[in-house]
Structure 1
Amino acid sequence: MATPNMYRLVANLKYWLVAGVTTAAGVGLLYVSGIAWFKKHESLGTLANQLGGLLIASVALATIWDLVGRRSFFLEMLEVLKLKHDIHLSGLESVSTDYSKVVDWDACLGSAKKVDVFAAWATTWRNTNQVKLQNLVSQSDAKLRVCLPDPNDPACVRLLATRFKSMSAADVRTKLNEAIDGYKQLDGNSRSGRVEIYTTPVFRAFTAYRIDNRFVVTLYHHKDSRSGSVPAFTCHQGGSLYGFFEDDLEGVLSASVKVYP
């Protein structure tokens, strides 16, 4: 048997006590407004009559709110608070259908010290942020790690060609080799150790960028046409989403082959 909530019982008791007193006062005012003295003082009688009716109507409205409105509002607030709590636990920061706007790339890359790239090739992203990436790898305490599909793995290349239907296996292999060379060039081929490139046969289900303590993740289309926007979101370190993508990335990197330096 459930233990009664004493605070709720006390609150309900107070409410019904106040409601009873207010109703009694309203009925009393309605009654006295009709006695002879108030008939001789018509303005005061009218005031007492209206005040009595107002008190009774107020109690009726308050009772309806207590029985229906307050409980509905309480349930709605529980849903909102639960959603807020879930978002807090996940570490979700922002959501968009435009990866270029889901985060301020200039600000993030401009102050970054460690960047990880997990993508098919991310050529557009690399070209757009080339200056920022070159500035990043020019710093002695910075590191850029890139994990790309293995261009020498036939199954991986074939899967990518299947996803990007307008490309042949040869096109995919060329694209991957160009990506590897493009990321090498950020280091000036100096083998400074600040740029690391890995290849793996793991097929991409999403693109992820880790910038210091934040992940930026974009999803892929599964329809034949790749036109249109795709969902993208950011999450910060300490949240369950960040933990998932961190474990996933580190797991892939640990089983990958370093091809540079």
Structure 2
Amino acid sequence: MANNPYRRVTSLKYWLVSVISLIVGVCFLYLSGLGWFERYKSIGTLANQFGGLMIASVALALLWELVGRRSFFQEMLEVLRLKNDVESAGLDAIGTDYSKVVDWEHRLDGAKKLDIFAAWATTWRNTHQTRLTRIATRPDSKIRVCLPNPNDVDCVKILAARFTMSEDRVRSKLTEAIDGYKDLDGRAGTGRVEIYGSTAFRAFTAYRVDDVFIVTLYHHKDSRSGDIPALSCREGGSLYEFFRADLEGVLDASVKLYP
């Protein structure tokens, strides 16, 4: 940028105009003090004020050139970098309430493909039970559910420690979740609802609704209360691609539990 000839020409013009303006301002101040203006005080006052205004303008312009413009330029670069990062990631929304990160009702009402990657997501499933059932009845729809495998001893043990539950309680929660998702197609085994059991440790919960991923993180503190970060990202972005590849990798290594 330092070797840019257009920038050098612009800077030269700027400094030339500043010097000329400064000289003009000083001249007006000097002339306003001459004896001739004693007889024409109004003109002398005008010349004095005009000269002061020219000098003050040059001073302000110099401050802008030396400090303000560069600071503004750096700030704009930071904003543009952030905007480019967000655009590249495909990030649509971020917050601390997963129920408000997207319009779940709107998304699920028109959904054809739904992937669920969670420990059990009981609250979410019960909240949207009607809409999930409606998706499962559409002939061109597909719901894939990836849950921890209740038959894997190590997986159950990790979840018990993670959620501060007994192993029996964890198995009960997983079995309940599997039964709940089976009920979406009336346990008819239509193939529109698929349930997989995996040994992958859940570091987050993810839902893919057609071309959007909604992801919520987990607490690592002893208390599970409080808000947690949640985000939504669209297809085509780097975040979406990460979660898509991650989910497909887990599904490939999972055991199909239903149908």
Please list every run of 5 or more consecutive structure 1 residues that lacks an aligned counterpart in the other structure: none
Aligned residues: 259
Name the CA distance, whole Å, in 1 between partners of 2:80 and 2:178.
Answer: 46
Given the two structures, how large is their TM-score scaled by the length of structure 2?
0.97
Give the alignment partner of residue 241 of structure 1, picking from 239, 242, 248. Answer: 239
Name the CA distance, whole Å, in 2 between partners of 1:239 and 1:205.
Answer: 21
Cα deviation, residue 20, structure 1: 1.2
For residues 88-137 of structure 1, give each alpha carbon's deviation from its aligned partner in whole angstroms, at most 9, with x where no partner exists.
11111111111111111001111111010000000100000011111111
Name the CA distance, whole Å, in 2 between partners of 1:48 and 1:186.
Answer: 86
Name the CA distance, whole Å, in 1 between partners of 2:134 and 2:16.
Answer: 72
Name the CA distance, whole Å, in 2 between partners of 1:127 and 1:65.
Answer: 60
Partner of 1:221: 219
Residues 57/35 of structure 1: CA separation in 2 closer, same or farther (3 Å cut): same
Given the two structures, how large is their TM-score scaled by the length of structure 1?
0.97
For residues 166-199 of structure 1, give each alpha carbon's deviation from its aligned partner in whole angstroms, at most 9, with x where no partner exists.
x210110111011000000011111111111111
Q: Secondary structure at the match of 1:101?
A: helix
Write the mapping of 1:71-220 to structure 2, written as runs, cut at 5 A.
71-165=70-164, 167-220=165-218
Name the CA distance, whole Å, in 1 between partners of 2:100 and 2:223.
Answer: 22
Residues 127/257 of structure 1: CA separation in 2 closer, same or farther (3 Å cut): same
Please list every run of 5 or more consecutive structure 2 residues that lacks an aligned counterpart in the other structure: none
State the Cα RMSD in Å.
1.1
Name the CA distance, whole Å, in 2 between partners of 1:31 and 1:222.
Answer: 74
Partner of 1:16: 15
Segments of 4+ in structure 1 off by > 4 A? Answer: none
Cα deviation, residue 214, structure 1: 0.5
Q: Secondary structure at the match of 1:100?
A: helix
* Residue identity matched to 1:233: L
Cα deviation, residue 25, structure 1: 1.3
Name the CA distance, whole Å, in 1 between partners of 2:228 and 2:30.
Answer: 70
Name the CA distance, whole Å, in 1 between partners of 2:9 and 2:93.
Answer: 43
